[in-house]
């Protein structure tokens, strides 16, 4: 029963009594109630509203009215969506990458192969493949490196240079990100 004498509304009375802002607002409300000023009623209404907002804020902070907010759900990984580059343009880009994988390939190079501006190409490529162009380039390089590591006895550094990486360190970092282990360990696992 809301109007019962025992109902406290779930408020933390001590937190309200200890809050200096609530004390000041209620004190100002008492003064406004005894005022003869014609605008005192409007002032008292504003003070009541401010007091109510502060009480709710104090109670929320004390976690007595609302439960703590749940953490937002993690965003799912982006997936390839229908659309983006037409298949014929995508084939041209893939063919360009196959031919120039060992070279320094830029976004401008890939866009030119597709016959599009850089920004439009990047957006459309991501829609078509689910990958940013540079990420896709790295993925292609790692896949080619896997073939070379499996089919040849070339040193890891030579494989790195053959697929377009400037340093073995960068190659190892990128390879581990895509394959889950270093090129050397991956090669050993393939041969056993």
Ramachandran angles phi, psi of 46, nearest 5°? -65, -40
Those residues with Cβ within 8 angstroms of residue 118's Cβ, 6 or more apart along the chain or in another chain? 107, 108, 111
| Tens digits of residue pLDDT in 162-185 | 999 999 999 999 999 999 999 999
d(C-alpha 179, C-alpha 144), whole Å: 12
| Tens digits of residue pLDDT in 135-151 | 999 999 999 999 999 99
Domain segments of the chain as ranges: 13-61, 87-191
Tokens found for residue 119: 């920004």
Q: Percent helix, strand and coil across the chain, each rounded to 5?
A: 65, 0, 35
The answer to whether 159 and 183 have CB atoms below 8 angstroms apart is yes
d(C-alpha 64, C-alpha 148), whole Å: 64
The answer to whether 149 and 184 have CB atoms below 8 angstroms apart is no
Those residues with Cβ within 8 angstroms of residue 175's Cβ, 6 or more apart along the chain or in another chain? 142, 145, 182, 183, 186
At residue 118 the predicted structure's pLDDT band, cuts being 50, 70 and 90, is: very high
Residue 93: per-residue pLDDT:
95
At residue 33 the predicted structure's pLDDT band, cuts being 50, 70 and 90, is: confident
Per-residue pLDDT averaged across 112-120, rounded? 94
CB burial class (10 A; 0-12, 13-18, 19+) of residue 26?
middle
Superfamily grouping for domain 87-191: Homeodomain-like (1.10.10.60)
Residue 1: per-residue pLDDT:
39
Per-residue buried b or exposed e for 84-120, using 16+ beta carbons within 10 Å of the residue's own CB: bbeeebbebbeebbeeebeeebebebbbbbbebeeee
Tokens found for residue 96: 């360009």
Please give the model's pTM, rounded to 2 decimal places: 0.56
Overall residue count recorded for the chain in this entry = 192
| Tens digits of residue pLDDT in 45-89 | 888 888 888 887 777 766 554 455 555 656 554 444 467 889 999
């Amino acid at each position: 029963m809301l109007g019962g004498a025992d109902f406290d509304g779930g408020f933390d009375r001590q937190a309200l009594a200890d809050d200096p802002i609530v004390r000041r607002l209620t004190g100002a409300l008492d003064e406004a109630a005894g005022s003869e000023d014609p605008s005192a009623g409007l002032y008292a209404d504003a003070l009541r509203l401010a007091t109510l907002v502060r009480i709710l804020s104090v109670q929320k902070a004390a976690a007595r009215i609302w439960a703590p907010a749940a953490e937002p759900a993690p965003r799912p990984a982006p997936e390839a969506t229908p659309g983006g580059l037409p298949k014929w343009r995508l084939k041209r880009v893939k063919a360009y990458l196959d031919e120039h994988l060992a070279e320094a390939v830029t976004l401008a190079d890939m866009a030119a192969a597709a016959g599009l501006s850089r920004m439009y190409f990047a957006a459309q490529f991501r829609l078509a493949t689910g990958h940013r162009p540079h990420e896709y380039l790295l993925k292609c390089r790692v896949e080619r490196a896997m073939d070379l590591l499996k089919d040849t006895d070339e040193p890891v550094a030579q494989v790195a240079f053959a697929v377009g990486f400037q340093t073995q360190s960068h190659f190892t970092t990128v390879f581990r990100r895509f394959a889950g282990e270093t090129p050397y360990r991956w090669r050993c696992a393939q041969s056993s």
